[in-house]
Amino acid sequence: MTDKAPAAPLNAGALPDPMPTRPPRSQWQDVWRQFRSHKGAMAGLALFVFIVLGVAIGPWIWSASPTDIPPVVDMIKNRDMRPIYTLLWDSGAKTSWAHPLGTDNLARDNLARLMFGGRVSIAVGLTAMALSILLGTLIGVMAGYVKKLDGPLMRLTDLFLALPLLPLILVASLMFREALAATFGPEGGVFILVVALIGITSWMQTARIVRGDVLALKEREFILAAQSIGTSPRNLILRHLLPNVVSPIMVSATLGIAIAIITESSLSFLGFGFPPDFPTWGRLLNDSVDRMTLYPERVIWPGMLISLTVLSVNYLGDGLRDALDPRIRGR
């Protein structure tokens, strides 16, 4: 046997371990230990936790309203403020400590809008990504593993790849928006709709990749070995196939967050997303592109936050991949 099955010895149980030298540790402790040793992953985790906490708790601390517009006189006085750091090179800039990142053209506080927008963007990004990875992995594994399902599932994938996204969204919002809004409130309803739509229109690539990998893995000797000792299909998939397709899934997941955040912003822009007075990072970015020479901060901040989130998730994914891979973990 040239290709040693990574998890088979744990599972086989045929040869009992003679004498444990250390107290037994669970698999997850091992994973965590490996994860901690990955510097990039820890940095990614720290950054990600920081961003999530910032947008989740931030609005409690920074109490400026992201949506309210002050009365007329104040509005004219306070609109189009520059961030406080502009003073470093332009002492005449219109700034105020009350608005450290400045205000927009309707005198709404940029910092508050960024924090509020981040809540939505991160929630949408994570949930939609999770949904699409779940669907993609499920369908990919089923298609790759169960021969009978391969044809139908792959044709289904073709169908979804071919569907034009915009009309699909129009139909879905026509049919489900009122019902969802009635059950979950207008914003909750839109959230579910947006997440579901991004999720069900972005799983196809993951499914194809996972299926391709599973097709190749299925022919490997360790699977044959596992089958020959009577491993149930369920265990075979969960313990032998899945850990080996984790890395393309992680890459899809990372890219998926970016896609979800950007798709959400395009949806909002096209009028299918959240209500107009509901900021998200993508929307803030989109709304400010026309003014990027006048107020560069309005595109830089949301753009940077999207990038940082994606980047941190990417490193997190890298670390997770290494930690979940038994061959690397052993080293």
Partner 1 sequence: MLTFTIRRLTLAVPTLLFISLVIFLLLELAPGDPMAQMPLTIPPEVREQMRVALGLDQPWPVRFWKWCVQFFWIEPQVLIDHIFGTSFSAGDPRVVSWQTRSPVMDTVIQRMPQTLWVVGVAYVVGILIAIPIGIYSAYRQYSIFDQAGTFVTMVGYSVPPFFTGPLVIMIFAVQMGWFPSLYDTTHKVVDWASFKEQLHQMFLPVMVLATQITAQISRFMRAAMLDNLHQDYVRTARAKGLGETMVVMVHVVRNSMIPVVTVIALGVPSIFGGAIITEQVFKVNGIGQLLITAIQANDLPMVQTLTFIFAVLIVLFNLIADVLYGLLDPRIRYD
Partner 2 sequence: MTVKSLLLGAAAAVAFAPGAMAERGADGEVKILYWQAPSILNPFLSGGTKDVESASLIVEPLARYNEKGELVPWLVEEIPTVANGGVSEDLTTITWKIMPGLKWSDGTDFTSEDVKFSWEYCTHPEGGCAQSTKFEGVGSVDTPDPLTVVVNFDGPTPFPYGPFVGGESPIIQKAQFADCMGARAPECTDQNFGPIGTGPFVVTEFRPNDVITLVANDYYRDPAKPAFGEVTFKGGGDAAAAGRAVMETGEFDYAWNLQLAPDVISQMEQGGKGVPVVAFGPLLERIHLNHTNPDPALGPDERSVVRPHPFLQEPAVYQAMKMAIDQPLLVEVGYGQAGRVTCNWVPAPDAFNSDSMSCDTQDIAGANKLLDDAGFVDSDGDGVREANGVPMRISFQTSTNAVRQDFQALIKQWWSEIGIDAELRNINASVFFGGDPGSPDTFQKFYADVEMYANTFNGTDPQSYLGNGLCDKAPSPANQWQGENVSRFCMEEYDALHAQLRSTADMAERARIGRELNDMFVMNGGMIPLVQRGRLSARATTLGGVVLNVWDSELWNVADWYRMDE
CB of 210 to partner 1, least distance (A): 9
- Annotate 272-300 with b (16+ C-beta within 10 A) or e (fewer): bbbeeebbbbbbbbbbbeeeeeebebbbe
Enumerate the β-bridge partners of residue 103. Answer: 109
- Check residue 69 for interaction with partner 2 (CB under 8 A): yes
Binding partner of residue 72 among partner 2, partner 1, none, CB cut-off 5 to 8 Å per kind:
partner 2
| Residue 323 burial by Cβ neighbours in a 10 Å radius (0-12, 13-18, 19+) | buried
In the list 23, 290, 330, 331, the residue contacting partner 2 (rule: CB under 8 A) is 290
Q: Token pair of 213, please?
A: 């990998």
Question: What is the Cα–Cα distance from 331 to 325, expressed in whole angstroms?
Answer: 10
Contact region for partner 2 (CB under 8 A) — 32-40, 74-82, 84-92, 150-158? 74-82
- Check residue 67 for interaction with partner 2 (CB under 8 A): yes
CA distances (Å), 37 to each of 129, 145, 232, in order? 26, 34, 34
- Check residue 275 for interaction with partner 2 (CB under 8 A): yes
CB of 235 to partner 1, least distance (A): 22
Question: What is the Cα–Cα distance from 265 to 262, expressed in whole angstroms?
Answer: 5
Q: Which is nearer to partner 1, 29 or 307 (CB)?
A: 307
Contact region for partner 2 (CB under 8 A) — 6-14, 38-46, 229-237, 263-271? 263-271
Q: Which is nearer to partner 1, 108 or 321 (CB)?
A: 321
Nearest of 257, 261, 219, 263 to residue 241 by alpha carbon:
219
The total number of residues shown for the chain amounts to: 331
Residues that bind partner 1 (CB under 8 A): 2-4, 40, 151, 154-155, 157-159, 161-164, 166-168, 170-171, 174-175, 204-205, 208-209, 212-213, 215-216, 219-220, 244, 247-248, 250-251, 254-255, 258, 261-262, 265-266, 282, 285-286, 289-290, 292-293, 299, 303, 306-307, 309-311, 314-315, 321, 325, 327-328
CA distances (Å), 206 to each of 133, 147, 155, 219, in order? 7, 18, 15, 20
Q: Which is nearer to partner 2, 161 or 170 (CB)?
A: 170
Q: Which residues in this chain contact partner 2 in the complex, by CB under 8 A?
A: 67-69, 71-72, 75-76, 80, 105-106, 170, 174, 178, 186, 269-272, 275-277, 287, 289-291, 293-294
